[in-house]
Chain A
Amino acid sequence: MPRTLTEVFAQARQENRSALIGYMPAGFPSVKGSIELVNALADAGVDIVEVGFPYSDPVMDGPVIQQASQRALDNGFTASQLFDVIEKSKASTVTMTYWNPIERMGIENFLTQLRAAGGVGVITPDLTIDESDEWISQTSEMAIDRIYVVAPSTSDERLKKVANATSGFIYAASLMGVTGTRSALSGSARELVSRVRKVTSLPIAVGLGVSNAEQAREIASFADGVIVGSAFIKLVLESPNEKEAVEKVRVLAAELAQAVRQPRS
C-alpha cells in the first residue's frame, strides 16, 4: 500500500523538513521513459510524485510542460497509460489533470481506475470549488485526496472555502502566472503561505517557478512542501536520449531532496 499524503507530510514534519514533490507528465518522452523518470525521482528522495495527464488545452502551463504534453499526445497518449505509470511508481503518487478528461471518463470510472493503480490524490488546476459538488462526494467516498490550487490573488474568505474542500495538502501557487522555471522567487509565496496557515492546519506545498536548490531551500523554510516540475522536464527535453535524461533528472532531484532537508530556521 502506498503511503497517504497525510503520512508523507507527517513524516517530513517529524524529520523537521519539507516534503519534495516532483512532476512528470505520463507518456513523456515515452511511457517506458516516464516510468523510469518517475522512479528516478523517487530513488533520489522525492517524497510525492505528481504524474500529469497530458491534455490538448493546458491553460495553466507554460511552454515547457506544453511541449512535453504535446509530445505525449503526439505519441498517442491514452488514459490507460496514465494509470500504468501510476501503478509502477514507487513513491506516493497523485495525478494532476485538467477537468475535461475526468468529466469525459466519468468521475466514478476515473477514481476507480486511479485507486486500483494505487494513486492517492488528484490535483485539479481548473476545477473551482463552486463546480465540485459531485467531485467532493465521490472522492470522499473513495478516500482519494482532493488537492486544489490557490493563488496570491485568492481572497482570505475564498482561501477558507478552498481549504475546507481540500484534503492531503494545499497547492499554493508562488506567483500569478503559469508553470515554468523563473530565475527569482516571487515574494508573494511567503505571504500566501502565511495567509493559508491562518485558515487551515493542512500541509501547504508551494509550486510554480521553483527550479533549483537555492529556491527549494528558501521555500522549505516556510512551507511544508516544495513542488518542482518544469525544471525536470527541461532536462529531459535537452537530453539526447532517455538514459541521459533519467541521469540528469536523478542528479537534480537529489540536490533538491538535500535542499529541503536543510535545518529550518
Chain B
Amino acid sequence: MRSVNLRNSRIENRKYAMKMSESIDGHFGRFGGRFVPEALVGALDELAAAHQAAMHDPNFQMELAELHRTYTGRPSIITDAPRFAAYAGNARILLKREDLNHTGSHKINNVLGQALLTKKMGKKRIIAETGAGQHGVASATAAALLGLECVVYMGEEDTKRQSLNVARMKILGAEVIPVTTGSKTLKDAINEAMRDWVTNVATTHYLLGTVAGPHPFPTMVRDFHRIIGVEARAQVLELTGRLPDAVLACVGGGSNAIGIFHPFIDDLSVRLIGLEAGGRGVSTGEHAATIVGGTPGVLHGARTFVLQDESGQTVESHSISAGLDYPGVGPEHAYLHEIGRAEYRAITDDEAMEAFSLLSRTEGIIPAIETAHALAGAMQVGKELGEKAILLINLSGRGDKDVQTAAQYFGIPL
C-alpha cells in the first residue's frame, strides 16, 4: 500500500517545479490562496503582475544579479565540515554559507528582489515585520541602498529581546514601531503591518519577509531565494560528482528552506528535510513546530498549517529562536508535506543549542540559533544514513545576534 502511494506521489511530483512556478493563482494543492480584506486585492494583483514581469525581464534579472555579486557577496560558498561530521554519523556534511551574505543571513536575497520591485512599481515606502530583527535589518539595509522610506513593525517583547537589532535598524535610517497588541511578538507585528498596508497601499509596498502570506508572496519570496538551491546544486555536483542524499534546512515561515529545496524538488533521489522548532518538546504544547504539531487553517492570508485551538484562535508559539517563533508556515511547505515530497521534524531548544555549540567548537562557525535546528537535524539524519551519505545543510544565518541568548543558555557571565 505504502509503495503504491509513494509511486503515485512521485509521478505527481515529477514535473513539480515547472508546474508550481507556472501556478499563477497561488495555490499549492489545497493550501495557499488569498484570505485578505478586499481592499488589498488590487495591490496583490499589481504585485503578482510585477513579479511575473520581473521574472521574465532580462534587465531586472541582470540588475538583481549584479547587486548580488557586488553587494550581497554571491555566490555564497560551500564549506565541508568534517569535524562536525564526526557527530553526524561521519556522513559528509556540506554547509551552504548564507551566513556570509551581507547582513548575515539569507534574508537579503528576498529583500533586494522586493525592494527593486518596489521601485519598478513606483512606490517610495516599504513596511516590514520582524521577529528577531534579521528581516528588519535586511529591509532597512535595502531601503538605505535604494533610497526608500522604511518602517519596521516589531513586537514590543522582541524589541526588548533584540535591542541591538533595533539600534541597527535605526542607524540604517528606518523607523521601528513597537507593537503592543496581542502577544506582542512576530504574529502581531504582521497584523500591524497588514493594517498599515490596508491604509497606505497606494504608496506603500509590504516587504513580507517569508514565504507565508497571501499570493503572490509565497511564490515571489521563494523565487528570490531559489538562488540558494540553484548555486548549491551546481556546487555540490562539482565538488562531489553527484547529488546529495538529503538537503536540510530550518523552517519557521520557511523561506531559507524553500530556497534551497526548490531546485531539488524534481531530483527524487534527494530527500528534503525541514527542521521545525520543537521548543520544550511538541508534547508540551510549548513549541513552534507548525507542520509537526499544528492543523490546517488560515492565518495571515493563506491556508496552511497553523498552531490553533479548537475554536480557530491562534495559539502562541514558543522557541528559543526568535526567527522560528511563529505559529504559521509557508503554504508550499504544507503542500510538500502533504504530498510526501518533503519531511518535517521537530528539534527541541536543547537539541538546537547542542548543535549550536558543536558547530562553533568543531568548525569555528557560530550559527544562528535558527540554523542550529537544521544542524541538529543533520546530526540525526547523518547517523541514520551513515558515512557514505552526503548531506547539504543551509547555513542560513550567522549567530552574532544570538550571543546574548546563548551566553544566558550556557551560563556564560556577560
A contact residues vs B (CB 8 Å cutoff): 55-60, 62-63, 66, 70, 73, 78-79, 99-105, 125-128, 130-131, 148-155, 158, 162, 173, 176-178
Q: A56-B314, A100-B298 are contacts. A63–B181 as well, Cβ < 8 Å?
A: yes
Q: Does any Cβ of A come within 8 Å of B69's Cβ?
A: no
Return chain A residues, CB-CB under 8 Å to B37: 59-60, 125-126, 149, 151
Interface of B is mostly: mixed
Q: A59-B195, A66-B181 are contacts. A158–B42 as well, Cβ < 8 Å?
A: yes
Q: From B39, B41, B191, B306, give the contact of A100 (CB < 8 A).
A: B306
**Which of B115-123, B196-204, B219-227, B354-362 contacts its partner?**
B196-204
Contact between chains at A104 and B312 (CB < 8 Å): yes
Q: A103-B297, A176-B199 are contacts. A154–B42 as well, Cβ < 8 Å?
A: yes
CA distance A105 to B311 in the complex (A): 7
Q: A59-B194, A63-B181 are contacts. A100–B187 as well, Cβ < 8 Å?
A: no
Return chain A residues, CB-CB under 8 Å to B194: 59
B contact residues vs A (CB 8 Å cutoff): 25, 33-43, 181-182, 187-188, 191, 194-195, 198-202, 297-301, 303, 306, 308, 310-314
Return chain B residues, CB-CB under 8 Å to A60: 37, 195, 198
CA distance A154 to B36 in the complex (A): 13
CA distance A99 to B37 in the complex (A): 11
Q: A59-B194, A126-B35, A128-B35 are contacts. A154–B311 as well, Cβ < 8 Å?
A: no
Q: Which residue of B is nearest A159, CB measured?
A: B38
Q: A57-B300, A177-B199 are contacts. A128–B39 as well, Cβ < 8 Å?
A: no
Top 4 nearest A-B pairs by Cβ distance? A104-B312, A151-B39, A101-B312, A177-B199
26 examples of A-B residue contacts, CB within 8 angstroms: A56-B182, A57-B187, A58-B191, A59-B194, A59-B300, A78-B311, A100-B308, A100-B312, A103-B298, A104-B297, A104-B312, A126-B36, A126-B37, A126-B301, A128-B36, A128-B41, A130-B33, A131-B34, A150-B38, A153-B39, A153-B43, A153-B202, A155-B42, A158-B38, A173-B38, A176-B199
A55 CB → nearest B CB, Å: 7
Contact between chains at A131 and B33 (CB < 8 Å): yes
B188 CB → nearest A CB, Å: 8
Q: From B38, B202, B303, give the contact of A154 (CB < 8 A).
A: B38
Q: From A63, A105, A151, give the contact of B38 (CB < 8 A).
A: A151
Return chain A residues, CB-CB under 8 Å to B201: 153, 176
Contact between chains at A62 and B195 (CB < 8 Å): yes
